[in-house]
Amino acid sequence: GAGVSQSPSNKVTEKGKDVELRCDPISGHTALYWYRQSLGQGLEFLIYFQGNSAPDKSGLPSDRFSAERTGGSVSTLTIQRTQQEDSAVYLCASSNPQGAIMDEQYFGPGTRLTVT
Amino acid sequence: GQNIDQPTEMTATEGAIVQINCTYQTSGFNGLFWYQQHAGEAPTFLSYNVLDGLEEKGRFSSFLSRSKGYSYLLLKELQMKDSASYLCAVSGWGYQKVTFGTGTKLQVIP
């Protein structure tokens, strides 16, 4: 079946503009994750959804960042008033944990955001 | 909170064996993942350990010791295509949050 998809694949925006990044998880996957990866760095956790709820928003860098998930499916990460330090690859992943039993995460191809 | 440590870079020779270590300190523990990430690509799943011991999967094996907060990924018969970053990730109790280490960049040389 289809994997995780993200759009756009690349986004160049001017400093101060708002951007929206979209993630379509694998159908039926209840858990959805957003990570940020700067060049040559590891994955920085941003936010996690279980269904439409976000139990952990602790990774969001500032109040300019927000995310939502609707219908237990598509998620949108919004960055307001973008800054140059927001430039990174934004990765989305989904999984289907069974209670406390974890499942592997399936990653999308990422959105490369460049703020000029 | 969770803290995960792994070496930044390693170099190994084609055909050899390499062990990539990962140590972690967590407020709870549900399992440990290893992912492979080639440059410019998304991470892909390699292994998941919940119980102590060694899990073998082809050329790749992963070991876990929960009492020591320690894991390693063992790669045998190294191939040039194994040059990539290897990410250790830990999930804690209560919910399915997964925290990643910064990754170990492995370079395989002829």
What is the band of A116 on the pLDDT scale with cuts at 50, 70, 90?
Answer: very high
| Contact criterion met (CB < 8 Å) for B96 and A110 | no
Mean pLDDT, rounded, for A32-46:
89
* A-B contacts (CB, under 8 Å): 58
Residue A1 has pLDDT above 60, yes or no: no
Going from the C-alpha of B9 to that of each of A40, B5, B21, B85, the distances in angstroms are: 11, 12, 11, 9
Q: Which residues 6+ apart lie within 8 Å of B73 measured at CB?
A: B19, B20, B22, B34, B46, B47, B60, B61, B62, B86, B88
Structure-model confidence comparison of residues B50 and A80, the more confident one: A80
Mean pLDDT, rounded, for B21-43:
91
Interface test with A, best of B27, B30, B87, B96 (most A CBs within 10 A): B96
Please report where in the chains the tokens 């001017």 appear, as a residue. Answer: A14
pLDDT at A2 (0 to 100): 80
Contacts of B41 in chain A (CB under 8 A): 109
| Summary count for chain B: helices (H), strands (E) | 0, 11
Q: Which residues 6+ apart lie within 8 Å of B71 measured at CB?
A: B21, B22, B23, B24, B32, B34, B49, B62, B63, B64, B65, B88
Q: Which of A10-19, A49-58, B61-70, B79-88 has the lowest mean pLDDT?
A: A49-58
pLDDT at B67 (0 to 100): 94
What is the separation of C-alpha B104 from the centre of its chain, rounded to a whole number of angstroms?
8
CA nearest neighbour of B23 among B71, B67, B59, B57: B71
pLDDT at A56 (0 to 100): 80
pLDDT at A99 (0 to 100): 65
- Residue B85: phi and psi, rounded to 5, are -95, 140
